[in-house]
Structure 1
Amino acid sequence: MSRVMEPAHTFLPSEWKHANRVHFRSAETERARSERLAAECKRLIEESEKSAKRMQQDANQRLEHRIKDIKFWRQELDQKLQEVVQEIEVLITFKNRVERALESCSEPLKATLDCLNERQKRVAIDLVSDEVERELLKEKDVIEGVITLLQRTLEQIIEQIRMSLKKMLSWWQQMLQNASESRGIYGYWGNKGGVTIRLSFYGHMLCFLNCHLAAHMKYASERVDEFEYILDSQTFQGKKASSILDHKVVFWFGDLNFRIEDHGMHFIRNCITSKNFNLMWSKDQLTVMKKNVPKLQQFEEGPLDFQPTYKFDLNSDNYDSRVQKAWFGLTGKKRKPAWCDRILWRVKPRPPPPEDIFEEGDDDAAKEKKKNLLEDLMEKYPLKVVQDSYTSSMEYGVSDHKPVIGMFRLELRKMYDIPLVRLHAEGDWSADLDAMVTYSPLQPFPSSAWDWIGLYKVGFRSISDYITYTWVKDDQVAFNDEVVQVYVSKEEIPVVGGDCVLCYYSSNLQCIVGISEPFKVHESRAAIEEGLLPENINGLDQAIAS
């Protein structure tokens, strides 16, 4: 029998209204809760903004104070460095004088000992202990005492010079200009990025750029972007070589993290075992990227004739053998060996020669002049950078990388064809009269109050071999637009005399920029008249006698 379906339950209007009121109150409650949540979020945002601004202001203030402190300490460091340089120069001068004094004592001592030996050869009644012998013995004791004192003084001077040099080098390391750029998490974390240091080498600016770029196989393009960003963002003070690529030579090195693509683990390890490293070069990411990136093409690198330097087990020569843990307890892949650690270099390109430098109708003189101008232009640039070796060192095991070592020879062309300063000794020189030096700059160069003129024996071998020196600014007595005269005290001129030259030393360029023609320093007439032997005299005799 068919079953009759029961009709659906119906509600009364009052029940419908009651259900709607319940839903409405529930919705109102949710809306109020949402509004309270939105208001709380807005309040938290405002408080976070205020806190962030307050922290930023505090950080800016601390940075300003830090910058002021750095500037102040840099000035103090400059002053201390100048004082130490001056102290060392004075010590070296004193050292040279003490050494000459020691040399001068040898002849009088030898003469005294010879006299005593001859007197000991007397026989019989002639063997008399008279006043002459007592004076000779006294002279011997005095000379030996002076020699002992001078030797002890010389040892103290050398020790003081060593300590001053150590202190100066400690300060000098802080004076080298450097720059850094963080490229880690969000561009702020310092686990990735670049650090640059630059210096002047015989007047040529060299730059050393150390980078730690992004890791992992798939980020080759990001590594190049980071490298280009570092090149563009790091700057130095001064007009000379204000950016990295402005330097004459740039050495780029570090954990660059470029990997070997496509080749599998088995193929790479077979190539390493058989030392067929060249089979992996074509898939090296840095080699591949250099074909398409202009800035990379400016850098050179030696052949990778050594096994990849990454990744090793710690304290081992075995490549990565540990099981890598991945997400959700899965086992990850071992790292493939790669040349992550590299050393490259770049020589600043020479500017292109002028177009059509030789024109039709130029005579031989014009062509020669233009040729000389072109050669002068070429002289401003390094001759060549030669890499003598490029290898890795397997004995270090404290890291999962092996260090890479590159040995270079850097040959630089001379910066100037002619001396920057012309020097001349005015009149006759001797220890009897004060002397005068005349010099005139032949080319513009960065002169300094710390420049000095030294008096040297002909044939000197080192800058520190000077007999005496005078400051070009402190002892300046007269000057005009072309010629400057500098005073030299007679007390500083050697009594013995001899063939000498004058040399102008530039503190900024750290080299001699001018040498005079050889001239004669005459023996002191006053010393000769007093009966002093010229070969036994030096500038310290008067001080010792007094």
Structure 2
Amino acid sequence: MDVLSPLNFVKISRIRMQGLLLLVFAKYHHLPYIQILSTKSTPTGFYGYWGNKGGVIMCLRLYGYYVSIINCHLPPHVSNNDQRLEHFDRILEMQNFEEQNIPNILDHDLILWFGDMNFRIQDFGLHFVRESITNQFYKDLWEKDQLSIAKKRDPLLREFQEGPLLFPPTYKFDTNSNNYDTSEKKRKPAWTDRILWRVKRKPYEHSFAHNLPGPLLSLSLRSYDSHMMYSISDHKPVTGTFDIELKPLLAVPLITIMPEGLWTMENDLLISYSASPDFLSSPWDWIGLYKVGMRHINDYVSYVWVKDNQVSFSGNLNQVYIDISSIPETEGQFLLCYYSNNMHSVVGVSNAFKMPLRFFLKDDILGEDQLVF
């Protein structure tokens, strides 16, 4: 949050299961178009009772599209490949959202799946693998990578894509070094840390000959790399950068907040907002005042319950006020966010604005009026 908040990224949700942690950030202007639908942990260790293995999953709607994000930790060792594939399938099968009226995960428009998948390089010996890495000759190693082999055989796994493995295997290193394992076990290097994705194929994607529209959502990989400079673990971290292109299914926010002409009272900030006809409000909805660069949704400088502080309403236009007397003077910019209790998410964000300099009149000891800022 320290690094990302100055870049206008806000933490919108998190989920953790023992060593598995999933954090999701978004730039604040996207917040009204992101709804967190479900966060779930699926343990697969010790017959499903222990969370040292398994996955943490976040399901959200992004501009009207269903998106699932999965971070996983699968069983280790080269001999446990079948068990890894079984856990992979089990994590998918456990994503049942019937109670929340969410489609099955395999019907989601996009699945991002990553983590310590623990797939290994089979058949080749330690010396051959290390020599291939030293010479940056990875082609033979790709052919014996267990995940690559499984993708050719498993119909479901085949639907997941991955970028080319142009970086050295990310496991196993001596901690605080770039040396592969020199312990007595001398683990064979492997690409254990992977990033996969699956875009749901629409029936019209392959119908260009009939002049039908192309896909509404597409994803392209910009970069896929490991980072050797980090050495606190026996793994090297892997990052993937993607471009998502989509035609928004939700193009207008449910709440429109108008920050222009807000300042009418000495110590109150008057806020006008309008709601779309299909928005279901709650007495527990609130509007927060934030400084640009906020870290998360609870990082407000002030807030107000919408129903308790309502000033007036006329047709679709509503007005509420926030007491700003306790807010220190600052040169920074501010935002207003409307939080929906029913949807557990931000449904409206104002444009950034500067807080005007407040002033009032008071009498000094000489009886003369002074203008105080």
Is the TM value for this pair above 0.5? yes
Task: Quote the residue 2:199 is aligned against.
Answer: 348
Q: CA deviation at 1:181?
A: 3.0
Task: Quote the residue 1:389 is aligned against.
Answer: 225
Give the 5 Å matches for 1:222-237.
222-235=83-96
Q: CA deviation at 1:471?
A: 3.0
- Find the aligned partners of 1:490 and 1:279 in 2 and give their Cα distance: 67
The 3 A distance-change label for structure 1 pair 339 and 443 is farther
- Find the aligned partners of 2:139 and 2:111 in 1 and give their Cα distance: 28
Task: Quote the residue 1:440 is aligned against.
Answer: 274
Q: CA deviation at 1:419?
A: 4.1
Q: Which amino acid aligns with 2:305?
A: W
Segments of structure 2 that go 5 or more residues without pairing to the other structure are: 1-10, 23-38
Q: CA deviation at 1:406?
A: 1.2
- In the alignment of these two chains, the number of paired residues is 321
- Find the aligned partners of 2:242 and 2:360 in 1 and give their Cα distance: 51
- Find the aligned partners of 1:172 and 1:394 in 2 and give their Cα distance: 23
Task: Choose the corresponding residue for 1:256, options 110, 114, 118.
Answer: 118
Larger radius of gyration: 1
Task: Quote the residue 1:294 is aligned against.
Answer: 155
Task: Quote the residue 1:207 is aligned against.
Answer: 69
Any conservation in 1 of the 2:75–2:118 contact (CA below 8 Å)? yes
The answer to whether structure 1 residue 179 and structure 2 residue 41 are counterparts is yes
Task: Quote the residue 1:275 is aligned against.
Answer: 136
Any conservation in 2 of the 1:197–1:209 contact (CA below 8 Å)? yes
Q: Which amino acid aligns with 1:418?
A: V
Higher relative contact order (CA 8 A, sep 6+): 2
Task: Quote the residue 2:240 is aligned against.
Answer: 408
How many percent identity over aligned positions? 23
Q: CA deviation at 1:411?
A: 4.7
Aligned with 1:291: secondary structure?
Answer: helix
Any conservation in 2 of the 1:422–1:515 contact (CA below 8 Å)? no
Structure number having the greater helix percentage: 1
- Find the aligned partners of 1:427 and 1:515 in 2 and give their Cα distance: 13
TM-score with structure 2 setting the length: 0.60
Any conservation in 1 of the 2:107–2:200 contact (CA below 8 Å)? no
Q: Which amino acid aligns with 1:483?
A: N
Query: CA-to-partner distance for each residue in 1:449-498, whole Å, 9 max, x for gaps?
Result: 242175x9xxx855799997643221125557x5253343898699x9xx
CA RMSD, Structure 1 to Structure 2 (Å): 5.5
- Find the aligned partners of 1:433 and 1:315 in 2 and give their Cα distance: 55
Task: Quote the residue 2:306 is aligned against.
Answer: 472
Any conservation in 1 of the 2:199–2:219 contact (CA below 8 Å)? no
Task: Choose the corresponding residue for 1:452, options 267, 287, 291.
Answer: 287
Q: Which amino acid aligns with 2:155?
A: P
Aligned with 2:165: secondary structure?
Answer: coil
Any conservation in 2 of the 1:423–1:439 contact (CA below 8 Å)? yes
TM-score with structure 1 setting the length: 0.44
Structure number having the greater strand percentage: 2
Q: Mean alpha-carbon deviation: is it higher for 175-184 or for 485-494?
A: 485-494
Q: Which amino acid aligns with 1:472?
A: V
Task: Quote the residue 1:431 is aligned against.
Answer: 265
- Find the aligned partners of 2:357 and 2:181 in 1 and give their Cα distance: 75
Any conservation in 2 of the 1:426–1:435 contact (CA below 8 Å)? no
Any conservation in 2 of the 1:255–1:342 contact (CA below 8 Å)? yes
Q: Which amino acid aligns with 2:75?
A: L
Any conservation in 1 of the 2:115–2:194 contact (CA below 8 Å)? yes
Q: Which amino acid aligns with 1:351?
A: K
Q: CA deviation at 1:194?
A: 1.2
Segments of structure 1 that go 5 or more residues without pairing to the other structure are: 1-168, 325-333, 361-370, 538-546
Any conservation in 2 of the 1:420–1:513 contact (CA below 8 Å)? no
Task: Choose the corresponding residue for 2:319, options 475, 478, 486.
Answer: 486
Q: CA deviation at 1:227?
A: 1.5
- Find the aligned partners of 1:190 and 1:489 in 2 and give their Cα distance: 47
Aligned with 2:200: secondary structure?
Answer: coil
Task: Quote the residue 2:4 is aligned against.
Answer: none
Q: Which amino acid aligns with 2:166?
A: D
